Amino acid sequence: MAAHGPDAKTLMEIADAYGSNNYRPLPVVIARGEGVFLYDVDDRRYMDMLSAYSAVSHGHSHPRMVRALSEQAARLCVTSRAFHSDQIGPFMKELCELTGMEKVLPMNTGAEAVETAVKAARKWGYVKKNIPAGQAEIIAFEGNFHGRTTTIVSFSSEELYKKYFAPFTPGFKIIPYGDAGALRDAVTDNTCAVLVEAIQGEAGVRVPPDGFLRDVRRLCDERNLLLMLDEIQTGLGRTGKMFCYEHDGIRPDVLILGKALGGGVLPISAAVSSAEVLGVFVPGEHGSTFGGNPLACACAREALRILVEDDLPGRAARLGGRLRSGLEAIKNDQIIDVRGKGLLLAVEFGPGERTARQYCEGLMAEGILAKETHGTTVRFAPPLVITEEQVDWALERITKVFAS
């Protein structure tokens, strides 16, 4: 198989030559995947500790996902929303039953689901809260990551994401993450919603202080604001609960899902909410050609069934605890923090001999793929199907690389 195609070096050169320079991947060329493992073009095996930023929680090519994908692909893939399909209704019903919500608006990527939430919140603000036309405000948090559209980067605090992409969409305020007092001060009569991550994944797995989400919930209730939780990365079992907000005993008004919703085989995202909020749209105001296509809906339905039947949230809690204790036991003075929940963990390095990128290159040489963020943090987020033995196998190698 590998011997017939171009070698890894050639493939990376082709990608460099023809691709835009918007990513800087580790120097490895993946040809196939199975469960927690990836195999490069020379059939070298690696454990995947990134899971495509949590999109592959079910593991690579989960047999049930492959079956659902291929059976539906043979039957019907795409209709657009101009017609009903026999998959979209049951998908939305099942997602509502899982989340305890009333309505779903399916899209494809996470960023589109966030855009959907932003548009729904603004219209809700105008028609339900009587905010003067054009004045609706949404509050977001420093360090956030909600996607890459021009509107979404308008409220990013990351210089790199914004510098050359102005002008931006107005109507957003950015306040410090974890600071409920700052939120109280930022709310005005024109505020319609608060958009927040239960844990900031891309910022380096930043867990907010205890009680923060409960304070946000209380403020949203007091001031009649929509609490919009972006659980694109933290949702669907990743943190040891089906949804990360369950750790805090709260419920959002709008839940934004993506990534693992596609079971690791294709993109599907959704904004999930009440009839009061998602009921604001009229035909034509919002949509997507591929959003809610029957192939994606069939895959999402199977992905949700696997999550529940195989108790992937429970696995994330149990195996995340095991991985975390192992990471905490590593002796290296450069490690200043080990944090996260379930199987969304990160090790942060202080200033020292090696960068996070160099640690990741060391891990790669040992057969583990992990990705650094912000130059100082290495994230560990393997597929939730990982076993005890596989966690121990990984810990042996991580310890060797980090402790040396």
Ligand X SMILES: *Cc1c(COP(=O)(O)O)cnc(C)c1O
Strand order in the sheet with 377-380: 335-341, 344-349, 377-380, 371-373
230 binds ligand X (CB under 6 A): yes
CB 207 within 8 A of CB 241: no
List 48, 215, 230, 253, catalytic entry: 230
Query: What's the min distance (Å) between Cβ of 74 and ligand X?
Result: 26
Query: What's the min distance (Å) between Cβ of 111 and ligand X?
Result: 3
* Angle (CA) 312 382 144, round 5°: 95
Is residue 145 annotated as a catalytic residue, yes or no? yes
Total Cβ atoms within 10 A of residue 259: 26
Query: What's the min distance (Å) between Cβ of 59 and ligand X?
Result: 19
Stretch that binds ligand X, among 3-11, 110-118, 155-163, 274-282 (CB under 6 A): 110-118
Is residue 230 annotated as a catalytic residue, yes or no? yes
Applying CB under 6 A, the site for ligand X has a residue count of: 16
Total Cβ atoms within 10 A of residue 222: 10
Tell me how far apart the alpha carbons of residues 347 and 327 are, in angstroms, rounded to a whole number. Answer: 8
Cis before 167 (ω within 30): yes
Tell me how far apart the alpha carbons of residues 208 and 219 are, in angstroms, rounded to a whole number. Answer: 16
* Nearest position to ligand X, beta carbon: 110
Residues 50-109, interacting with ligand X (CB under 6 A): 53, 109
Site string for ligand X, 147-186 (x = CB under 6 A): x---------------------------------------
* Residue 34, φ and ψ in degrees, nearest 5: -155, 115
Query: What's the min distance (Å) between Cβ of 259 and ligand X?
Result: 6
Query: What's the min distance (Å) between Cβ of 152 and ligand X?
Result: 8
Which residue of 35, 110, 143, 237 would you call a contact of ligand X, by CB under 6 A? 110
111 binds ligand X (CB under 6 A): yes
258 binds ligand X (CB under 6 A): yes
List 91, 141, 145, 155, catalytic entry: 145
Q: How far is CA 59 from CA 54, 152, 380, in A?
A: 10, 29, 14
Query: What's the min distance (Å) between Cβ of 390 and ligand X?
Result: 24
Burial of 25 (0-12, 13-18, 19+ CB in 10 A): exposed
Of 151 and 390, the one with the shorter C-beta distance to ligand X is 151
146 binds ligand X (CB under 6 A): yes
CB 27 within 8 A of CB 381: no
User: Footprint of ligand X on this chain (CB under 6 A)?
Assistant: 53, 109-111, 114, 145-147, 197, 201-202, 230, 232-233, 258-259
Question: Could you list the active site residues?
Answer: 145, 230, 259
